[in-house]
Chains A and B, each alone.
Chain A
């Protein structure tokens, strides 16, 4: 089968799954709503609780899940390809810990600034991720021609540890309530309650996904090793830079929407590779689509399984994802 046909088949298959999940998710929730009433335009929107539940609570939440899932999963693919390490995740290089530090500072010091309708926590999470990216990037550039993936990895892991320490330091000054809110932020939450956080993250997300599309072939070549890739005409340094910056941007955007939701960025890439093989031209779009469907599905479980209580979505991704991943490893061996 030609690549083109496999591409169409893959995108159509995973795309259908994602669309089905996106259509189903807003229909289900702890409250039963009347869809006819929700879409009845003769009732003023501010008086229509069903419409408000559908359009203010569920739809943004579903879209947030889709964006975050797609970004984490595809960023995971890129980080694994860049570092040539199957255990790499979007959180390996310190981006998410930088974002966490930003969010936690905003929570602890009760910042009440809003930038274009976006509250302080997501804004400072995104800024935190950019700071982390800048530091890791500068370190990996400093003593090498091009970008050293070894330094990238070491700097990222060290920065993760350092930022975690700073987080604990900031926590020391937080009140109990703020500490609790911080902890809860770290578990991940998709209840965005408006479209603003998604819209704000969209430019970064689209830019990152566009670079990912270009990266598919370079990542295939990098899988052969930098020397082979170079000999086949790939500008390895440029590919490294593009991969690191775009995947970091995607991670920062996703964390600013939903917090550091774990497991999506490592399970989905591996699952997808088991299904479509190692070619990044198939893995990248499949991972983005499947990641979106997976996270929306997990959030659906999170908000209904213990209704009226809700589990943090990060716990669901870990509980569903971990064992499933292990089972798959054993079965496919």
Chain B
């Protein structure tokens, strides 16, 4: 082998090794996952964001950023044109992941998990963005905040709770509720409630009328994103809809709560506030 060929081979090898090493922290980030966008901002890396999903609304700064689609319709052309060096995607977006990797762009795959998954994501993302200290501080603050809620409701009777994600308006049909998996189920536990569908090991369950009557929840919490908040008259009308199930303790005792609050339904840095709101609804006395 001629000397210059050896030199070229050595150079290529060096380049390969360099490419495989963890590079400099990303400077241009796109997030297709709204709750991870919140985490990026909470870690103080918001100034590195160059694009967000079409569902992002928080923090308010994101509204000024280019929108690049979402889970089902990521706009690859738009993403590439923004020249990101890290794209946060859903774990299920395998095609997008392959395309981005082929283009040499870093990928952070987000997977939905329980409450623990939020602090895990914060720490992983912190390491990736070279914001380890900020991530540890944020995750620690969340863990302490949740412990604080646990302490406040400790020793109090845990109301059997039905956590409702949605149903047909002015009707109890098409009822989706929290099963025994996922961050909302975990939050309910921290907030001092007992999920009446804890035995169903899925995040979301379609609850039938029979199941709701048979499981006799003490409290019904309807939770959705802030954007769908009801007016007082709508709230009254929806509460009346529940009156059909008079044998359910929550209905009989008027313990139907509407918490339309992004802090509850977005598994991000605001989750402690959300858990407090939930705990306050379940244990008003503990938060006087």
Quick check: B213 and A56 within 8 Å, CB to CB? yes
Quick check: A308 and B173 within 8 Å, CB to CB? no
B247: CB under 8 A from chain A? yes
Quick check: A112 and B247 within 8 Å, CB to CB? no
CB contacts (< 8 Å) of B237 on chain A: these are 112, 114
Which residue of B166, B204, B206, B246 is within 8 Å of A52 (Cβ)?
B246
Quick check: A30 and B211 within 8 Å, CB to CB? yes
CA distance A58 to B199 in the complex (A): 22
CA distance A89 to B214 in the complex (A): 38
Write the nearest CB–CB distance from B80 to chain A, whole angstroms. 23
In the complex, per-residue mask of A212-237: 1 if CB is within 8 Å of any chain B CB, else 0: 00000000000000000000000000
Q: Which of A41-49, A240-248, A279-287 contacts B (4 or more CB under 8 A)?
A: A41-49
A9: CB under 8 A from chain B? no
Q: Which residue of A lies closest to B208 (CB)?
A: A191
B174: CB under 8 A from chain A? yes
Interface size on B, residues (CB 8 A): 36
Write the nearest CB–CB distance from B268 to chain A, whole angstroms. 16
CA distance A191 to B174 in the complex (A): 8
Quick check: A193 and B199 within 8 Å, CB to CB? no
Assuming the contacts A45-B246, A46-B246, A193-B172, asked whether A177 and B166 have C-beta atoms less than 8 A apart, the reply is yes
Name the interface size band of chain A: 35 or more
A310: CB under 8 A from chain B? yes
Assuming the contacts A46-B247, A57-B208, A120-B169, asked whether A185 and B174 have C-beta atoms less than 8 A apart, the reply is yes
Which residue of B197, B205, B209, B216 is within 8 Å of A193 (Cβ)?
B209
CA distance A21 to B216 in the complex (A): 28
Which residue of A49, A110, A120 is within 8 Å of B213 (Cβ)?
A49
Scan residues 89-138 of chain A and give those whose CB is less than 8 A from a CB of chain B: 107, 110-114, 119-121
Which residue of A31, A48, A112, A189 is within 8 Å of B210 (Cβ)?
A31
Chosen A-B contacts, 15 in total, with CB atoms closer than 8 Å, are A52-B246, A53-B213, A57-B208, A57-B210, A107-B168, A114-B237, A119-B169, A120-B169, A180-B176, A193-B172, A194-B171, A303-B208, A308-B200, A309-B200, A309-B202
Instruction: Identify the 5 closest CB pairs spanning chains A and B, nearest first.
Output: A46-B246, A119-B171, A57-B210, A112-B169, A31-B214
A residues engaging B (CB < 8 A)?
Answer: 29-31, 45-49, 51-53, 56-58, 61, 107, 110-114, 119-121, 175-177, 180-181, 184-185, 189, 191-194, 303, 308-310
